[in-house]
């Protein structure tokens, strides 16, 4: 498939980053809350503003005009040096990127890791890619973007509803559901570059998004056998077979990082819950969350036995399940707006989620520790939803 669209949203990114800069407050007061107030200066305005936008989304970073914690960025071609001379945060790092977008992401990571040594902050930006849906073109199509919002690519142009984007395990393809070919929902995959549309499974019935496991196999929900059950197939749709079937609706499987288990949504219509099952098939076990309506579980690829999920309690909110400790903790967001459909970023701390009012939706970066929510998708991208993150594994 040809690359269909490229929107370089520098102007919107720069404006958003500038809007988030506030007047300097006490550094010590912020540090006690685990937040580092910084000022970013750069000899390259475009690079500096992209890095500033990326850092502004992190829950441990606060942009301050005139802060004594100054992050200085200098650029030469596709190499950048980032440094801080404040005694409590002194560091210097050099990074390279294959293009301007990667350079900005790697520079933001170098700043984050250098500043956050005492908190052991992990790289976030260069190791995260986001697939999502948007109605930018008037139809719901599939797009990808990054955490600097420096490049947004449209992968589909079917003039039809395309939903459920999910990355392949190696990050080279995106699976999605569309009815463009036959009028029935089918699972497609694309790399967005020079490859034709490809239907990877002909299983009929209502279909859910195809989740890719660590070995490349896909799992998806289908009503092919009458009820909505979980099927597994090869990376190209080979030998689809049902592995989980209950009398209720089984959907939205998420592979554990080791591929041994699924977390999934199941239960009676109107009262879904979070369940666990072997990826080889068999019975399902409900996870006690304390909420009567729970959906969209996603394994944390960086923190063992941890899941994010959506629950409804007046509004849609996010919660974290720690399977080892047997605890359920709401993400401490103070925003009154709905948050749902969350996917973990590369640091295992931040999430990309859908934030919504009754009339609009957009992508947001959510810090699972502090509850900070920062808008990611621009206003120009119209309604955005269903984010799925691919994260680089070492």
Beta bridge partner(s), residue 350:
367
Same domain, 145 and 71: no
Contact residues for 26 (Cβ-Cβ < 8 A; gap 6+): none
Confidence at 17, pLDDT banded by 50, 70, 90: very low
**Alpha-carbon span 265 to 297, nearest angstrom:** 7
- Look up tokens 């206003």; give the residue: 379
Q: Which two tokens stand for residue 281?
A: 């098939």
Confidence at 195, pLDDT banded by 50, 70, 90: low
Q: What is the pLDDT of residue 26?
A: 66
Contact residues for 160 (Cβ-Cβ < 8 A; gap 6+): 139, 178, 179, 180
Domain boundary among 71, 90, 119: 119
Same domain, 115 and 209: no
Give the chain's mean pLDDT: 90
Q: What is the pLDDT of residue 6?
A: 37
Assign 185 to helix, strand or coil.
coil
Same domain, 93 and 133: no
Assign 88 to helix, strand or coil.
coil
| pLDDT higher than 70, residue 21 | no
Assign 232 to helix, strand or coil.
strand
Q: Which two tokens stand for residue 154?
A: 């449209």
Contact 339, 374 (CB under 8 A): no
Q: What is the pLDDT of residue 3?
A: 36
Same domain, 92 and 169: no
**Domains of the chain: total:** 2
Contact 71, 65 (CB under 8 A): no
Domain boundary among 62, 90, 119: 119
Range of the domain at 162: 128-391
Residue 23: C-alpha distances to residues 19, 20, 38, 224 (Å): 11, 10, 11, 58
Q: What is the pLDDT of residue 203?
A: 83
Confidence at 2, pLDDT banded by 50, 70, 90: very low
* Percentage with pLDDT > 90 across the chain: 79
Same domain, 102 and 184: no
* Strand pairing class (174-178; 36-42): unpaired
| pLDDT higher than 70, residue 1 | no
pTM over 0.95: no
Q: Would you say how long the chain is, in residues? A: 394
Same domain, 248 and 326: yes
**Alpha-carbon span 305 to 291, nearest angstrom:** 20
Which residue, among 273, 279, 380, 379, has the nearest Cα to 328 in the 3D structure?
A: 273
Q: Which two tokens stand for residue 380?
A: 């120009």
Beta bridge partner(s), residue 250:
none
| pLDDT higher than 50, residue 219 | yes
Burial class of residue 363, CB neighbours in 10 A (0-12, 13-18, 19+): buried
Same domain, 261 and 383: yes
Same domain, 87 and 166: no
Same domain, 198 and 246: yes
* Percentage with pLDDT > 70 across the chain: 92
Q: What is the pLDDT of residue 128?
A: 97
Q: What is the mean pLDDT of residues 115-138?
A: 95
Same domain, 194 and 108: no
> Domain with 115 in it: what CATH number?
3.30.160
> Domain with 171 in it: what CATH number?
2.120.10.30
For helices 45-56 and 10-19, give the axis angle rounded to 10 degrees. 60
Over the stretch 289-314, which tens digit does the pLDDT of each residue have? 999 999 999 999 999 999 999 999 98
Cα-based torsion angle of the residue sequence 230, 235, 236, 240 in order, rounded to the nearest 10 degrees: -30
| pLDDT higher than 70, residue 9 | no
Residue 18 CA neighbour count, 13 Å, CB half: 8
Residue 279 CA neighbour count, 13 Å, CB half: 22
Over the stretch 244-297, which tens digit does the pLDDT of each residue have? 999 999 999 999 999 999 999 999 888 999 999 999 999 999 999 999 999 999
Same domain, 216 and 233: yes
| pLDDT higher than 70, residue 320 | yes
| pLDDT higher than 70, residue 139 | yes
Residue 226: C-alpha distances to residues 84, 109, 145, 148, 208 (Å): 61, 48, 37, 44, 14
**Alpha-carbon span 64 to 376, nearest angstrom:** 20
Same domain, 93 and 146: no
| pLDDT higher than 70, residue 344 | yes
Q: What is the pLDDT of residue 165?
A: 97
Domain boundary among 119, 146, 173: 119
Q: What is the pLDDT of residue 394?
A: 60
Q: What is the mean pLDDT of residues 129-147?
A: 95
**Alpha-carbon span 294 to 318, nearest angstrom:** 9
Over the stretch 57-93, which tens digit does the pLDDT of each residue have? 999 999 999 999 999 999 999 999 999 999 999 999 9
- Look up tokens 């441990």; give the residue: 60
Over the stretch 346-392, which tens digit does the pLDDT of each residue have? 999 999 999 999 999 999 999 999 999 999 999 999 899 999 999 98
**Alpha-carbon span 253 to 247, nearest angstrom:** 16
| pLDDT higher than 60, residue 20 | no
């Amino acid at each position: 498939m040809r690359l269909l669209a490229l929107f370089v949203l520098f102007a919107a990114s720069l404006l958003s980053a500038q809007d988030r800069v506030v007047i300097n407050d006490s550094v010590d007061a912020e540090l006690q809350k685990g937040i580092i107030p910084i000022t970013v200066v750069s000899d390259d305005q475009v690079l500096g503003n992209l890095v500033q936008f990326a850092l502004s989304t992190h829950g441990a970073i606060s942009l301050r005009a005139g802060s004594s914690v100054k992050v200085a960025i200098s650029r030469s071609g596709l190499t950048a040096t980032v440094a801080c001379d404040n005694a409590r945060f002194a560091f210097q790092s050099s990074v390279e990127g294959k293009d301007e977008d990667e350079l900005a992401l790697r520079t933001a990571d170098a700043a984050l890791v250098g500043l956050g040594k005492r908190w052991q902050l992990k790289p976030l930006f260069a190791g995260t890619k986001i697939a999502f849906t948007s109605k930018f073109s008037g139809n719901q199509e599939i797009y990808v973007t990054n955490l600097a919002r420096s490049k947004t690519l449209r992968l589909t142009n079917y003039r039809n509803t395309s939903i459920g984007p999910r990355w392949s395990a190696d990050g080279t393809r995106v699976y999605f559901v569309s009815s463009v070919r036959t009028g029935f929902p089918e699972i497609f995959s694309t790399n967005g570059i020079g490859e034709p549309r490809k239907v990877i499974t002909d299983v009929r019935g209502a279909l859910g998004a195809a989740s890719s496991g660590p070995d490349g196999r896909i799992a998806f929900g289908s009503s092919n056998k009458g009820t909505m059950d979980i099927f597994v197939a090869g990376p190209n749709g080979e030998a689809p077979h049902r592995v989980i079937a209950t009398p209720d609706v089984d959907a939205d499987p998420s592979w554990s990082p080791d591929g041994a288990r699924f977390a999934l949504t199941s239960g009676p219509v109107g009262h879904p819950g979070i369940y666990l099952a072997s990826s080889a098939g068999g019975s399902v076990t409900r996870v006690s969350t304390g909420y009567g309506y729970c959906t969209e579980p996603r394994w944390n690829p960086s923190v063992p036995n941890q899941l994010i999920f959506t629950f409804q309690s007046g509004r849609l909110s996010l919660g974290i399940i720690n399977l080892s400790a047997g605890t359920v903790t709401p993400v401490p967001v103070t925003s009154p707006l709905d948050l749902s459909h969350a996917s973990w970023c590369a640091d295992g701390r931040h999430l990309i989620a859908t934030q919504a009012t009754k009339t609009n939706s957009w992508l947001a970066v959510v810090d699972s520790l502090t509850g900070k929510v920062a808008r990611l998708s621009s206003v120009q991208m119209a309604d955005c939803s269903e984010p799925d993150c691919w994260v680089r594994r070492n």
